[in-house]
Amino acid sequence: AAAEKTFAEATSSTSTEGSWRIPDRSDDGWTVTAKFRDDVVRLIGGDAIAKSMVAVEIGTYLGYTTSFLAGAFKAVLGVELVPRFAEMTRQLLAGRGQSNAKVLQLNSFRDDFAAAADFTRAHGGADLVLVDGEHAYENVVNDLNLALFAGFGPEERKGQPRFVALDDYFVRAEVAQATLDFIQLGLLRLVGPLGFGEGMLCEVIG
């Protein structure tokens, strides 16, 4: 009930983007902190660099971080498993006038991600993929595989993004283990922590 109240307040806001505060973990425990979001932009090079980049978010939940990314990046693709969450994310983005963001409702294990890759390529390719879907080990491995090998990135990087961010790296052992496995395979390297003991930014080795 509290989460729905927070969402209702967020979607009823008509404030301009500069003054509207996006709900974060202090409002809804299922999303990330504002510091997590700010740390992503800081660690990839700052506001001006982010504005030239494209981002993908795997696991949008209610769209709060999707909306932040849409404000910070050139274009954003959100991928969400739960149809209701995908629709709520679209509702939030539409209410904010963030037409540079698109949301696809997809099952990351079963569905074809060609449409997702088509969107990112049409905007020059994704530079960042944020992995924040289900946190079971097999889900994180699957989402990391999608992040690196679904063709989200620019052609000059052979379809790979430059960065991958993961939520709950310090909270869920499965997330940390999946990330470590990709590091040991020579696919990722750690860049720095995100938020208050929450996530980790990694650079893609390509």
pLDDT at 6 over 70: yes
Mean pLDDT (whole number) for 178-195: 99
* pLDDT the model gives residue 4: 81
- Whether the model clears a pTM of 0.75, i.e. scores above it, the answer is yes
Query: Domain segments of the chain: what residues?
Result: 32-204
* pLDDT the model gives residue 99: 98
Q: Alpha-carbon torsion 109, 113, 116, 120, what sign? A: positive
Angle (CA) 69-181-81 rounded to 5° is 40
Per-residue model confidence as pLDDT tens digits over 145-171: 999 999 999 999 999 999 999 999 999
Q: Which amino acid is at 88?
A: M
Interatomic CA distance for residues 201 and 56, integer angstroms: 14
pLDDT at 18 over 70: no
Hey, which CATH number is domain 32-204, 3.40.50.150, 3.30.450.40, 3.40.50.300, 3.90.230.10? 3.40.50.150
